[in-house]
Structure 1
Amino acid sequence: MSGETVHERRRAAATATVGAAAAAVAVGGWTLVADAASHDAANRWVLVAGAVLAYEVAYLAYHLDADGVGSAFAPPNLVTLVRGGLYAATAGFVFVAPDPTIRWVPAACYGAGVVLDYVDGSLARRTGRTTDLGAKLDLAFDTLGFLVAPLVAVAWGRLPVAYLSLSAARYVYRAGIGWREYRGRSVGDLPPSRIRRPLAALQMGFIAVALAPVLPASVLHPLALVVVAPSLAVFARDYLAVTGRLGSVPSVASEPTDEGGSMK
C-alpha cells in the first residue's frame, strides 16, 4: 500500500470521526430543543446548526494536511473542535423564537465557547502542541463565532442590526486585501497592537452578556454602538496600515496574522 493511499485513508477516517461527532451534536441538539420547545423549533434549529457543522467538518478536511492527519486529534485542537460545535449550536437558534425554556441556551453555548477559546491556546502553548492546523481552526472558528452569535442576538432583539457591522468587518477587510492583491498592489504586514486582544475579549464578553436574558434590550442597544466602535476603528486603521496609507509597505507582502482575536 502506497504512502499516499495510507495518508488518504487516515484523512478520510479522521474526517469521518469528526463528522460522526458533528452528527451526534446535531441529533442531540434536535432532541433537547424538541423536548424543551417543540419539534418545529427543533427542525429550524437543526437546519442551521447542521449547516454550520457541515461547514466546520469540510473546513477541517480541507486543511488536514497542514500538520498531518494526526494533528486533528491533538488535545488543543480537540478543544477547538468542541468550541466549533458550541458555536454551531448557538447558530441554530437564529430562526428559533426565544422561548422561556431555551432563552439561556445560546448564551450558555457561546459563553462556553469563549472560555474554551482561551483554554485551547493556553493548552497548546503549555504542551508545546501549537500547529498550523490549530491556528487555522482557531481563526476560522473565532470568525464564525463573531458572525453567528451576533446574528442570534439581533434575531432575538437583543442587539441592534448595526452591531452586525462587526461581523461584516473581517470579510470587508479580506475582500479589500484580496482586491488589492488582484490588482498587483503590495500588501504589508499587519502591525503589532496591544489592543486587538483586549478588544476581541471585550466583544466576546459583550455578545455573551447580550445573549443572556439579564440586561434589557433598551440598555443593550445603545451600549452596543459604543462597544463596537473601537473594534471597527481598529479594522479601519489596520487596513490603512497594510495598504501603506499610514506608512511604507514592506517590499515582501505577507498574509496578515491573527493576534488572539483580531478577527482577521
Structure 2
Amino acid sequence: MSGREGTVTERRHVAATAVVGVAAAAVAVGGWTVVADAATRGAANRWVLIAGAALAYEVGFVAYHLDADRVGVALVPPNLVTLARGGLYAATAGFLFVPPVTPVVRWAPAACYGTGVVLDFVDGSLARRMGRTTALGAKLDLAFDTLGFLVAPLVAVAWGRLPVAYLSLSAARYVYRAGIGWRTRRGRSVGDLPASRIRRPLAALQMGFIAVALAPVLPASVIHPVAVVVLVPSLATFARDYLTVTGRL
C-alpha cells in the first residue's frame, strides 16, 4: 500500500469511528432525556453512567476491529443494523441501577432488548440478501450478542424478574472463551466447534425468554421457575461444546 493510499484508508477509518461515536453520543443524550422525563435526573444520571460505559466499549470495539484494507465496509446497511442493536443493548444496560418506578421505565428495558432481538434476525438476513457479509459484521454480531446476554439478565435479576441462577448463562460464554484461551496459551489442542442444529434455536429461545422476563406482564413467581427449566439445555450445550473442542467428546 502506498503512502497516499494508507493516508486515505486511515482517514476513512477515523471517519467511520467518528460516525459511530457521534451515534453513540446521540443515544446517550436521548436516553438521558427520556429517563429524566420519565423518572428523575438522578435516575437519568445513573442510567447514562452504565449505558455510556457500554456505548464506549462498543465504539472502542468497532475502532479496534475495523479492517484497514476494507474500512469502507464498516457502514454498510447490515452493519448499521448491528450497530443499532448494540445501541439498544447499551440502553438496556443503563437500567441496571434505575428502579422501575414508572410505566415508561418498567417497559423500557423490554422494549430496547426486544427490539434488539428482532434486529438480530434482520442484520444477518440483510447481509446475505445484499451479498455484504463481512468479517467485521460477524465480529460485531458475536460481540453484541454476548453483551446482550450479559446486560439484559443483569437488569432482570436486579429488578427481581429473573433468579440469580440465570446469570450462569451469561457467565457460561465467558467461561467457555476463557477455557479455550487457557488451553491455547498452554499449547494444548483446541478443535473446531462442530455444526449444531440446536445451538442457534436455543440462543433464540433464550433471547425471547429474556425479553418476556423483562416485560412487566407475567409475575416473577411464574418467570422464576420457568427460567430454571429454560436454562438447563443451554448450559448443557455449552458443556457439550467445550468437551467436544477439547477432545473429550
TM-score of the aligned structures, taking structure 2 as reference length? 0.97
Deviation (angstroms), 1:100: 2.4
Q: Contact 2:13–2:68 at 8 Å: present in 1 too?
A: no
Amino acid across the alignment from 1:141 = F
5+ long unaligned stretches in structure 1? 247-264
- Within the candidate set 129, 136, 143, 2:132 is matched to 129
Q: How does 1:66-105 map to 2 (within 5 A)?
A: 68-101=70-103, 102-105=105-108
Q: Which runs of 4 or more aligned residues in structure 1 lie more than 4 Å from their structure 2 counterparts after TM superposition? A: none
Q: Contact 2:190–2:245 at 8 Å: present in 1 too?
A: yes
Q: How does 1:146-157 map to 2 (within 5 A)?
A: 146-157=149-160
Partner of 2:239: 236
Larger CA deviation: 183-192 vs 3-12? 3-12
Q: Contact 2:31–2:91 at 8 Å: present in 1 too?
A: yes
Q: Contact 1:76–1:121 at 8 Å: present in 2 too?
A: yes
Question: Are 2:63 and 1:61 equivalent residues in the alignment?
Answer: yes
Question: Are 2:20 and 1:18 equivalent residues in the alignment?
Answer: yes
Deviation (angstroms), 1:3: 1.6
Partner of 1:50: 52
Partner of 2:141: 138
Identity of matched residues, %: 82
Q: Contact 2:13–2:71 at 8 Å: present in 1 too?
A: yes
Deviation (angstroms), 1:123: 0.2
Q: Which has the higher helix share?
A: 2
Cα distance in 1, alignment partners of residues 206 and 107 from structure 2: 19
Residues 29, 56 of structure 1: alpha-carbon distance in 2 compared, 3 angstrom cutoff: same
Task: State the SS of the aligned residue for 2:67.
Answer: helix
Cα distance in 2, alignment partners of residues 66 and 6 from structure 1: 10
Deviation (angstroms), 1:70: 1.3
Task: State the SS of the aligned residue for 1:237.
Answer: helix
TM-score of the aligned structures, taking structure 1 as reference length? 0.92
Residues 177, 158 of structure 1: alpha-carbon distance in 2 compared, 3 angstrom cutoff: same
Aligned residues: 246
CA RMSD for the aligned pairs?
0.9
Partner of 1:254: none
Question: Are 2:194 and 1:191 equivalent residues in the alignment?
Answer: yes
Amino acid across the alignment from 1:75 = P
